[in-house]
């Protein structure tokens, strides 16, 4: 018996859909507070030493956190090749902007303290701000466009044709999703700073985090209302074959206002996802106000978990709907790699992901504790 036949094709497809979600959530939880901290840097740090404190809360860990983004991209490439091809082609300029912004982060960390000039350091502080804001905004806008549908189509040979433009991605609903992402990650960054700093920096982070948590709650609720009342969702109108070949054109699909809520009607327990997003944001706001450091970060993480899960369960089994031709929409059941490829990648993931989790946990354990002005002056401390 061939080993990969031990797990059915449909089960492997479902496992990889879940793994992709886990990788994206891990990125949002960890690199999310890096991005949020960058966004808050010019505001919570008023003096040079305060900004150094802020930078040193994420400086030692941001590279490890970004591994989850790389793993997510790799998972899309290996498990969902059509999704990789369509998304990286359709969002090329947006992804270039994200890449450019992410490059500003290591450059800012390395160059900021190479000179003592106030103007020099201020420039790199705002570069770190852009390195946090731009990816957070664009990634949220991308999610908004996934919910709206992307204008691509496939011909009979499954060649991809994209009919949209960069500025066409900036619809009001997509920008609303971008603002949800910014507020959500700013909350995560603020909660991280409250946990890792003290004094005025922590107090300012608490105030900004409270505002961001409130905006996350408000904007996420508005997004749900818009999704129900105005945004056309997608549904499959033909029979679904979870074991079928990876050919999106073997199905039919249609659009309908409120269709993204079909899964909740069929399985009411899925409402736990948006409830977690709303409850996590409200709890983060409350716990920041009562100065519960660990509790606020956990609540913010719950909000991120709930918001991302909401998107995933709302559009399932769609991965990337097509607004140009709903029939060409990519789904879990018709856009995956082969049975053997998914199995080999699953074995590799079962080996290496736990190693990454163990190493990351060890790093956080070693670096646990608050960062303050005194710690930056300790002998042998190679602080940023």
How many domains would you assign to the chain?
1
- Poorest-pLDDT segment among 5-9, 48-52, 261-265, 321-325: 5-9
Q: What is the pLDDT of residue 115?
A: 82
Judge whether 296 and 287 are in contact, CB under 8 Å.
yes
Average pLDDT (13-18) is 95
Average pLDDT (256-285) is 96
Q: Rounded to whole angstroms, how far apart are CA atoms 341 and 213?
A: 41
Degrees, nearest 5: CA angle 17-19-22: 115
DSSP letter string, 79-111: H-HHHHHHHHHHTHHHHHHHHHHHHHHHHHHHH
Statement: residue 213 has pLDDT above 90: yes
Percent of the chain residues topping a pLDDT of 70: 97
Residue-averaged pLDDT of the chain: 91
310 or 110, greater pLDDT: 310
Residue 293 lies in a domain: no
Q: What is the pLDDT of residue 294?
A: 93
Statement: residue 5 has pLDDT above 80: no
Residue 307 lies in a domain: no
For the segment 215-253, what is each residue's pLDDT rounded down to a tens digit? 999 999 999 999 998 999 999 999 988 988 899 999 999
Residue 121 lies in a domain: yes
**Which range of residues forms the domain containing residue 65?**
7-233+247-261+314-365
Q: What is the pLDDT of residue 298?
A: 96
Residue 295 lies in a domain: no
Residue 380 lies in a domain: no
Q: Rounded to whole angstroms, how far apart are CA atoms 88 and 244?
A: 25
Q: Rounded to whole angstroms, how far apart are CA atoms 165 and 171?
A: 12
Residue 280 lies in a domain: no
Residue 53 lies in a domain: yes
For the segment 371-383, what is each residue's pLDDT rounded down to a tens digit? 877 777 766 566 6
Average pLDDT (163-187) is 92
Q: Considering only CA atoms, which of 214, 24, 28, 44 is closest in space to residue 128? A: 44
Residue 88 lies in a domain: yes
**What's the predicted TM-score (pTM) here?**
0.93
């Amino acid at each position: 018996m061939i080993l990969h036949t031990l797990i059915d094709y449909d089960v492997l497809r479902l496992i990889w859909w879940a793994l992709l979600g886990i990788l994206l959530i891990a990125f949002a939880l960890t690199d999310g507070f890096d991005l949020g901290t960058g966004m808050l840097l010019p505001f919570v740090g008023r003096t040079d030493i305060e900004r150094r404190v802020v930078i040193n809360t994420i400086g030692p860990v941001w590279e490890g956190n970004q591994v989850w983004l790389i793993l997510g991209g790799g998972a899309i490439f290996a498990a969902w090749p059509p999704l990789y091809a369509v998304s990286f082609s359709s969002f090329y300029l947006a992804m270039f902007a994200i890449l450019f912004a992410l490059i500003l982060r290591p450059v800012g960390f390395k160059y900021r303290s190479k000179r003592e000039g106030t103007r020099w350091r201020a420039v790199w502080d705002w570069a770190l701000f852009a390195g946090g804001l731009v990816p957070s905004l664009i990634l949220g806008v991308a999610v908004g466009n996934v919910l709206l549908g992307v204008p691509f189509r496939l011909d009979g040979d499954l060649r991809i044709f994209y009919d949209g433009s960069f500025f066409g991605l900036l619809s009001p609903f997509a920008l609303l999703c971008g603002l949800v992402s910014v507020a959500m990650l700013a909350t995560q960054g603020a909660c991280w700073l409250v946990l890792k700093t003290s004094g005025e920096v922590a107090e300012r982070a608490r105030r900004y985090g409270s505002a961001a948590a409130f905006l996350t709650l408000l904007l996420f609720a508005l997004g749900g209302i818009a999704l129900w009342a105005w945004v056309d969702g997608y549904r499959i109108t033909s029979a679904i074959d979870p074991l079928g070949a990876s050919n999106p054109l073997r199905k039919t699909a249609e659009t309908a206002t409120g269709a993204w809520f079909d899964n909740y009607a069929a399985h009411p327990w899925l409402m736990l996802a948006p409830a977690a997003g709303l409850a996590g944001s409200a709890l983060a706001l409350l716990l920041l106000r009562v100065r519960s450091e660990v509790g606020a970060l956990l609540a913010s993480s719950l909000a991120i978990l709930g918001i991302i899960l909401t998107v995933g369960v709302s559009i399932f089994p769609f991965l990337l709907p097509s607004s140009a031709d709903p029939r060409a929409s990519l789904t879990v059941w018709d856009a995956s790699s082969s049975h053997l490829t998914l199995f080999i990648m699953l074995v590799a993931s079962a080996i290496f992901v736990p190693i990454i989790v163990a190493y990351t946990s060890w790093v956080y354990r070693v670096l646990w504790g608050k960062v303050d002005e005194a710690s930056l002056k300790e002998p042998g401390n190679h602080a940023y």
